[in-house]
Structure formats: C-alpha cells, structure tokens
C-alpha cells in the first residue's frame, strides 16, 4: 500500500437538495484509504448526485466536503465517449494519462506510452487495445474503463454502476480488477449500485439513501429488516438466500431473486 491514513473524503453536516427535495441532510462521513463504500438506494434517491458532489459538479447546500485531488472515475458501460468506431481502447486509456495536461514533449510521449501499456496489461486488455471500442464486448470495454480510471494513480475511485448490463462472469472480472487496485494501492472505492450482491464480499460500509434519509454502516448493520423498514418507513424484509441478500419491499425491488428457493433466513 502506498496511500497514507488521512481520510480521502470527509463530509461534515452535509446537505444536498433541489428545490423542496432534500436528498440528504446532516451527513457526517469519513472515508479512509482502502475502504470500499457501496452507495445504495432506490431510483432518484441521490446516488449519482452523491458522486457529482465528490466530483465537484454539484455544491452542497450546507456543510462541507473535502476530498483528495486524485480521483478516478468508472462510468456505466455504454458511457458516451464520442464515436465508438473512431476511438480505440488505447486512446481511451491515454485520456486518463493526459488529464488536464496538454502538449507533452517527446519524453512525455514515451512515458505516456509506457503508462498506457502498463495499464492495459494490468487489466489484460493488450490483445484488443488497438481495436475500435465499438467492436468490443461490454466486459472488454469495462476493463478498459478500469484501466483509464486507475492510470492516473487515484487515491479515490468513483464507480457509477460499472457492472450494469454485464453478465455475472464479466461483473466478477471488473469487481476483481477494482478490488485489486484497492488492495495494491490503498485506493478507496465509492461504488454506486442497485445490486449489492456482486460486491457484497468486498464492501466495508454501505451508505443507503432513501427519500431524503440515510444510514451508514457495515452491510450487517444496514442490510437488515429492521433498519431498512425504518429507513423506507414501510415494511421491508431482508433475507439471505444462498449467500445472497434479497430485499423485499421498499420503493423498488432491487436485489431481488426468486425466493422460492429454500434456506432463506430473515435478517
């Protein structure tokens, strides 16, 4: 681990709202190097807005937020990168190296090429690095987006539903790459998702947003019938079915699997 122990994110008395709509209020949250924080909640609860605050795209109404300057970002698959047939994986990762720097000299160009090659190798993407993005599978594209996000050596990795529309095998590959970065470099991960199960083994804490309220805690603390019923203000049941969490009720039925299976235990 190269990261220190200073927090990479600190919210203090934070409030964000749009008009009459409050997404969260009085949020105190500190995220440390190497922590994996999942941001969960129904549609419109403020998950993406939470990332936008961290990216400085949205300002808080009240309170403060401080973050590290070294932030990487992994979007959903199908993120808009312009013409997918004109752009190669190598170009995408190169943008991650450039950041806001322009006009690299000759030495800079060779260093850039090395960094891009190392990042491509780390996610096993060298074989298709020169193909247009548009011909690559969803899983291959997401590996490249992980490479783009980590090539700038971030202390904080923001992930906006990066597993959406990937099959379970590719979900696992992408989560493993993110977790590998976390373990090797002590990079903190903030991971927005509708579906906690693919990341459950890695999650240290959950920030669960619902209708202007929130809970922060370990998955065992937050993902319970009692806590989520209180948060939603209605009856919600949380079951563990064959190692997976199933949330029944709430405003939308995320985490849902067929509960006709046996062996479920209310939590």
Shortest distance, position 64 Cβ to ligand ATP, whole Å? 20
User: Which span (42-50, 145-153, 219-227, 243-251) binds ligand ATP, by CB under 6 A?
Assistant: 42-50
Which 5-24 positions form the footprint of ligand ATP (CB under 6 A)?
A: 18, 23
| Nearest Cα to Cα of residue 150 among 127, 184, 126 | 184
Return all residues near 134 (Cβ < 8 A) that are at least 6 apart. 83, 84, 85
Please name every residue paired with 206 in a beta bridge, in sequence order, or none if there are none: 38, 217
User: Which span (46-54, 98-106, 132-140, 226-234) binds ligand ATP, by CB under 6 A?
Assistant: 46-54
Shortest distance, position 192 Cβ to ligand ATP, whole Å? 7
For residues 112, 118, 121, 125, the Cα torsion angle rounded to the nearest 10 degrees is: -20
Regarding 46 and contact with ligand ATP (CB under 6 A), the answer is: yes
Whichever of 91 and 195 has its CB closer to ligand ATP, that residue is 195
Regarding 45 and contact with ligand ATP (CB under 6 A), the answer is: yes
Whichever of 51 and 245 has its CB closer to ligand ATP, that residue is 51
Regarding 43 and contact with ligand ATP (CB under 6 A), the answer is: yes
Regarding 170 and contact with ligand ATP (CB under 6 A), the answer is: no
Shortest distance, position 255 Cβ to ligand ATP, whole Å? 13
Q: Return the residue of 8, 24, 37, 41 that touches ligand ATP, per CB under 6 A.
A: 41
Q: Return the residue of 44, 63, 139, 211 that touches ligand ATP, per CB under 6 A.
A: 44
Taking the alpha carbons at both ends of the chain, their separation in whole angstroms is 35
Shortest distance, position 161 Cβ to ligand ATP, whole Å? 8
Q: Kindly list the residues in this chain that would bind ligand ATP in the complex (CB under 6 A).
A: 18, 23, 41, 43-49
């Amino acid at each position: 681990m190269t990261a220190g122990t200073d927090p990479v994110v600190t919210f203090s008395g934070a409030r964000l709202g749009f008009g009459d709509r409050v997404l969260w209020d009085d949020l105190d949250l500190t995220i440390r190097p190497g922590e994996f924080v999942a941001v969960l909640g129904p549609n419109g609860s403020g998950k993406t807005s939470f990332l936008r605050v961290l990216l400085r795209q949205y300002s808080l109404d009240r309170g403060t937020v401080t973050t590290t300057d070294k932030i990487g970002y992994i979007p959903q698959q199908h993120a808009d990168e312009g013409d997918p047939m004109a752009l190669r994986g190598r170009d995408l990762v190169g943008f991650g190296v450039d950041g806001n720097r322009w006009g690299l000299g000759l030495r800079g160009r060779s260093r850039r090429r090395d960094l891009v090659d190392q990042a491509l190798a780390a996610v096993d993407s060298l074989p298709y690095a020169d193909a247009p993005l548009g011909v690559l599978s969803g899983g291959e594209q997401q590996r490249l987006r992980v490479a783009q996000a980590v090539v700038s050596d971030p202390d904080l990795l923001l992930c906006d539903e990066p597993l959406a529309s990937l099959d379970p095998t590719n979900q696992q590959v992408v989560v493993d790459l993110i977790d590998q970065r976390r373990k090797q470099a002590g990079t903190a991960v903030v991971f927005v998702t509708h579906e906690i199960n693919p990341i459950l083994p890695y999650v240290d804490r959950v920030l669960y947003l619902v209708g202007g309220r929130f809970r922060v805690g370990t998955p065992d603390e937050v993902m319970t019938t009692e806590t989520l019923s209180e948060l939603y203000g209605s009856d919600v049941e949380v079951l563990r079915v064959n190692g997976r969490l199933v949330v029944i009720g709430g405003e939308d039925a995320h985490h849902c699997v067929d509960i006709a299976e046996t062996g479920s235990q209310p939590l």
